[in-house]
Amino acid sequence: MKQDFCLLHGALGSRKQMRPLAQALPSSVTIYDLAGHGLLANETEPYSIESMAERVRKFREYSEAFFGYSMGGYVALYLAAKHPEMVKSVTTLATKFDWTPEAAAAEVRMLNPDKIKEKVPAFAKQLEKRHGEFWPDVVKRTADLMLELGNNPPLTAELLQQIKCPVLLLRGSEDTMVSEQETLWAKSHIPNARYEELEGQPHVFEKMDLNLLIRKLDQ
């Protein structure tokens, strides 16, 4: 594997989420905190796919292969459509494309800091490690972003058709949050896209088989 990679984390994640993969890849790797996450969690601006993509674009001086997990994959594809000069290829994993008001409402049902503290305190501690004292704001802004995606998803069929670089869409066979149908929908609109299912893999990145993922990135 000789190409450079830029790794983008998922919703509620940070660059820390990508460190195990970055350390395992035998290539030059860049990892970022997306706008409003991790070291940037004290920012007060509303989340949007456009602002997250713009933040990544400002730091890029050369073209790279992008890997994006979940929301990170959504951002990477948006970059590929809007700024093709900076994207050599895109690999997404567990990226949701079926954004409707109903789907968004289902996603944000548990995105309430108080509920997270009460129901899943271990997850609350994990979020605090990623975002510090600002983690409740990260949760709230993520919920707002998902509701906006439900009403106005940026990755329309028309925008996906503008992506010219090679794209690999990965989804775990045990992913209960992202369907095969919606991923194949995206594939049908991206001119140079492939779809592969990772047998036995769930949605949660931390539970993924990194060796399997690295083999896919090395294709």
- Where are the domains positioned within the chain? 5-97+153-217
Task: Give CA–CA dist 89/142, Å, rounded.
Answer: 26
The DSSP line for 86-119 is: GEEEEEEES------HHHHHHHTTT--HHHHHHH
Provide mean pLDDT across the span 172-200: 97
This prediction's pTM: 0.95
| Residue 191 near residue 1, CB atoms below 8 Å | no
Task: Give CA–CA dist 8/17, Å, rounded.
Answer: 9
- Backbone φ and ψ of 44, nearest 5°: -110, -5
Q: Residue 72, SS3?
A: helix
- Does residue 2 carry a pLDDT above 70? no
- Does residue 31 carry a pLDDT above 80? yes
pLDDT at 99: 97
pLDDT at 37: 95
CA distance readout (Å), 121 to 103, 115, 118, 127, 133: 25, 9, 6, 10, 15
Provide mean pLDDT across the span 189-215: 96
- Does residue 78 carry a pLDDT above 60? yes
Mark residue 81 as left, alpha or beta (left: phi above 0; alpha: psi -120 to 50; beta: remaining).
alpha
Q: Which of 30-34, 58-62, 75-79, 180-184 is least confident?
A: 58-62
CA distance readout (Å), 182 to 36, 121, 124, 167, 171: 27, 32, 30, 15, 10
- Residues 160-184 pLDDT 10s: 999 999 999 999 999 999 999 999 9
- Residues 112-154 pLDDT 10s: 999 999 999 999 999 999 999 999 999 999 999 999 999 999 9
Provide mean pLDDT across the span 61-81: 93
**In CATH, 5-97+153-217 is 3.40.50.11540:** no
Tokens of 134: 């600002």
Provide mean pLDDT across the span 187-195: 98
pLDDT at 1: 47
28: confidence class by pLDDT, cuts 50, 70, 90: confident
The one-character DSSP state at 37 is S
Helix (H) or strand (E) holding 170: strand 167-172
Task: Give CA–CA dist 136/119, Å, rounded.
Answer: 15
What is the residue whose two structure tokens read 């450079």? 4
Q: Which of 60-74, 94-108, 134-148, 188-202 is least confident?
A: 60-74
pLDDT at 218: 77
